[in-house]
Amino acid sequence: MRRKVVAGNWKMNHTPCSGAEFAKNIAPKFEAGAEVVFCVPYVALYAVREAVEGFPVGIGAQNLHFEDSGAYTGEASADMVLSTGAKYVIIGHSERRQYYNETDETVNKKLSKAVLKGLTPIVCIGEHLEQRNQGITEELLRIQVKIAYRGVNVDTALSTIIAYEPVWAIGTGVVATDEQAQQACAWVRGVFGDLYGKDAASKIRILYGGSVTAANAKALFAMPDIDGGLVGGASLKPEFVDIVNAAK
């Protein structure tokens, strides 16, 4: 059985103080079962990690650089992330791709660096609306997965988490239907199987992201190839508790 994962992506929200207070208030309300992660801004990593001390909640960053150090103003290395006590990192989110020129190739570099350092990457993939309308979603997801995992061995690949996020559903209030989300995640699992075999494909955890709410989480998480969610806006609200508990 693949353990469900629910990761909250806070994006550019919360200060260390407000984030710690929010996390401390809701962490005791999570029911046992799902693996829970708060992916928070760099400046809040340490404070939020301290706030959930003693609760089964992991902390993650929203990005990292693929070099260990250097003249990369505004960036943070894997070692810097680890120094805060964080254990997870989001890689290749569509907003990073759109606004900061993230590519499949940089996703591959960051994934490789993250697992080398002992972080668990949450690797984001997904299509734009025009690509879905053109009928190339499956082809696009295949390319994204193959490049992201290029040169990565099976044991390393299984230490990662994949998040399928249709770009047209992120922050729009429009959610993929249960069937659309399941179909896409099944395609992703199939590509992973082509790369690493059926046994590995049965073990890799694949999340759905894109306007996940307390109202739709239970049905989405019940799909056979959906192993939880990467949650944006709703992770900043008390309803995140209901989303997590829907995955127990």
Catalytic residues: 93, 165
Among 99, 94, 101, residue whose Cα is nearest residue 211: 94
| 66: DSSP letter | S
Two tokens at 210? 């894109």
Helix axes 178-196, 137-148, angle to 10 degrees: 40
Give Cα 67 distance to the centre of its chain: 21
Q: Considering only CA atoms, which of 211, 41, 200 is closest in space to residue 126?
A: 211
Alpha-carbon gap, residue 30 to 248, rounded angstroms: 9
| DSSP label at residue 171 | S
